[in-house]
């Protein structure tokens, strides 16, 4: 059974940093691309970033490019999202998602974690 | 930037067929994926690559993509189908979600 468990969310001040983690199990982690998708309170889904199975390719939404960094440790079956220069508009539930294939490109998000809440406020 | 257009809400009578549309330019060349999200829960993939159902998704859920519109069809709608539904595509190297459609089963 695929399981994705996010951690690291919390309250942070504007301009601050936070690192999210996602522990994956139930599949061969290194064979699949992974992504982060967020959802602001009461709003729709917004894609944040994708990383290929090998970690060699990464993609970012314009809204986070230059501030967020996605990475993975295939030896630990763990996905990360380093978030710097946080803004109020980054407040959202952040979902860790597994993608259907190894590259991620054109693929759907076939499994989702339960999400971790990030609140950016002074 | 690429945009996907969904109706804010769709209503369907219990047992009838609901159709949720998703519009975008040059849609026919793109693979459209659909997600269901119930209140307080994470989204679930219900249709991928326009017409394919993941294992565990009832046959009542189907998808199509023609011209500039993709459609998620839910046959014999049940109370448990009440949820928000999102379409999604890749455009170049970015992911785009539609704004979401709230399905109400009357």
| Helix, coil or strand: residue B84 | strand
Indicate the pLDDT class of residue B75, thresholds 50, 70 and 90.
Answer: very high
User: What is the rounded CA–CA span in Å between residue A24 and residue A77?
Assistant: 6
- Which DSSP letter does residue A51 get? E
Name which of B31, B43, B100 is nearest A112 (Cβ-Cβ): B43
Rounded to an integer, the average pLDDT of A43-60 is 96
Token output for B1: 């930037």
User: What is the rounded CA–CA span in Å between residue B9 and residue B101?
Assistant: 5
Q: Enumerate the β-bridge partners of residue A6.
A: A22
Cβ of B94 and A35 within 8 Å? no
Cβ of A108 and B45 within 8 Å? yes
Work out whether the CA dihedral A39, B61, B51, B3 comes out positive or negative. negative
Nearest Cα residue in chain A from B1: A62
User: What is the rounded CA–CA span in Å between residue A117 and residue A96?
Assistant: 12
Token output for B52: 């394919």
Nearest Cα residue in chain B from A94: B42
What is the tens place of the pLDDT at every residue in A82-110?
A: 999 999 999 999 999 999 988 878 899 99
Q: What is the pLDDT of residue A9?
A: 97
What is the tens place of the pLDDT at every residue in A113-122?
A: 999 999 999 9
Which helix (H) or strand (E) element contains residue A46?
A: strand A45-51
Cβ of A109 and B35 within 8 Å? yes
Rounded to an integer, the average pLDDT of B38-62 is 97
Residues in chain A with CB shorter than 8 Å from the CB of B93 are 59, 105
Cβ contacts of residue A22 below 8 Å, gap of 6+?
A: A4, A5, A6, A7, A34, A78, A79, A80, A96, A113
Nearest Cα residue in chain A from B53: A110
| Helix, coil or strand: residue A90 | helix
User: What is the rounded CA–CA span in Å between residue B90 and residue B12?
Assistant: 29
Q: What is the pLDDT of residue A102?
A: 83
Does residue B90 sit at the A interface (CB-CB below 8 Å)? yes
Q: B11 to each of A83, B18, B40, B69, how far by Cα in Å?
A: 39, 7, 21, 19
User: What is the rounded CA–CA span in Å between residue A35 and residue A59?
Assistant: 9
Name which of B31, B94, B100 is nearest A61 (Cβ-Cβ): B94
Does residue B35 sit at the A interface (CB-CB below 8 Å)? yes
Q: What is the pLDDT of residue A62?
A: 96
Give percent of chain B above pLDDT 70.
100
């Amino acid at each position: 059974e695929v399981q994705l468990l996010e951690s690291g969310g919390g309250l942070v001040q504007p301009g601050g940093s936070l690192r999210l983690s996602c522990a994956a199990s139930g599949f061969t982690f290194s064979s699949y691309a992974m992504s982060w998708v967020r959802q602001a309170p009461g709003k729709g889904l917004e894609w944040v970033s994708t990383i290929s199975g090998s970690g060699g390719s990464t993609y970012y939404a314009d809204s986070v490019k230059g501030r967020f960094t996605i990475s993975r440790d295939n030896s630990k079956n763990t996905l990360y999202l380093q978030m710097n220069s946080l803004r109020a508009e980054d407040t959202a539930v952040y979902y860790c998602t597994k993608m259907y294939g190894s590259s991620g490109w054109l693929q759907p998000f076939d499994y989702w974690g339960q999400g971790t809440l990030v609140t950016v406020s002074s | 930037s690429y945009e996907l257009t969904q109706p804010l809400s769709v209503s369907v009578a219990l047992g009838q067929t609901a159709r949720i549309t998703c519009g975008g330019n040059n849609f026919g060349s793109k693979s459209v994926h659909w997600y269901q999200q119930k209140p307080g829960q994470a989204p679930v993939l219900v249709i991928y690559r326009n017409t394919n159902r993941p294992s565990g998704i009832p046959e009542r859920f189907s998808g199509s993509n023609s011209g500039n519109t993709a459609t998620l069809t839910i046959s014999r709608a049940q109370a448990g189908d009440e949820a928000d539904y999102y379409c999604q595509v890749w455009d170049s190297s970015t992911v785009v979600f539609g704004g979401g459609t709230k399905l109400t089963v009357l």
